[in-house]
Amino acid sequence: MTNETNTGNYNTGDYNTGFCNTGYRNTGDYNTGDCNTGDCNTGGCNTGYRNTGDCNTGGYNTGDWNTGGYNTGNYNTGDYNTGSFHVGCFNTVAAEKAYYFNKLIDKAEWDAARKPDWLYEPSPNTWVASGNMTDREKADNLTYETTGGYLRENDMKEEWRKAYAGASTEDIQAVRDLPGFDADVFEQITGLDLRENPAPETREGREIEIDGMTYVLKLKGQDNGH
């Protein structure tokens, strides 16, 4: 079955580029599911080949959210893991400890901690339908007429800022309470300073004008030369 929005043959669904796809917005061949890039995927939002599951980056994964290849399990970074949450290769059991904020933390402790929804709101990509694309976006993504839009790469620091702006005080505190939380690491990744009492901004050298007179600020206790 073909559709005028498809590029290729034997597609079932809309906005497919390739052959023998079942679903929507697939780029590649023999995909079953939606928004796959690659070939022979079963599931959704896979980048790679022969994945069974969702949101895999890599190939030949059975499971979800793997980065790597040949994993049976979920959330692995690495290859040939049959457990979950591993960074490495050829593991057959679920990890008892994992790195969080650059520290080895008990997985059970991490799993028991409350993770507020705003942590999962930032996304590296956003699907932009053709009707919402700018002229520049259309010029830079010439396949939009076939696919019905394009995947925009987001500024992750801006995505984190927007998520933070919508978070409650309690949900922000829940992040500080995560096992191993490190404000420096979190700020490096997200651009957000979650220190409860941030160091005051240094204003030394700033000029201010009062009643027509200009003053240069000095740190308290310093010799002003008088």
The pTM of this model reads 0.60
Contact 23, 33 (CB under 8 A): yes
Residues 6+ apart with CB under 8 A from 67: 56, 57, 58, 76, 77
How many whole angstroms separate alpha carbon 24 and alpha carbon 148? 10
Q: In the structure encoding, which two tokens stand for residue 108, read together?
A: 């059970």
pLDDT per residue as tens, the chain (226 positions) = 546 677 777 787 877 877 778 887 787 877 888 778 787 787 877 878 778 787 787 777 878 778 777 687 777 877 767 777 776 777 788 789 888 888 999 989 988 999 999 998 888 778 889 999 999 999 998 888 887 888 888 888 999 999 999 999 999 999 999 999 999 999 998 999 999 765 444 445 556 566 667 766 565 555 544 4
Give the CA diameter of the chain: 88
Give the count of beta carbons closer than 10 Å to the beta carbon of residue 202: 9
Strands of 47-49's sheet in order across:
47-49, 57-59, 67-69, 77-79, 87-89
* Amino acid occupying residue 30: Y
How many whole angstroms separate alpha carbon 122 and alpha carbon 50? 27
Beta bridge partners of 72: 62
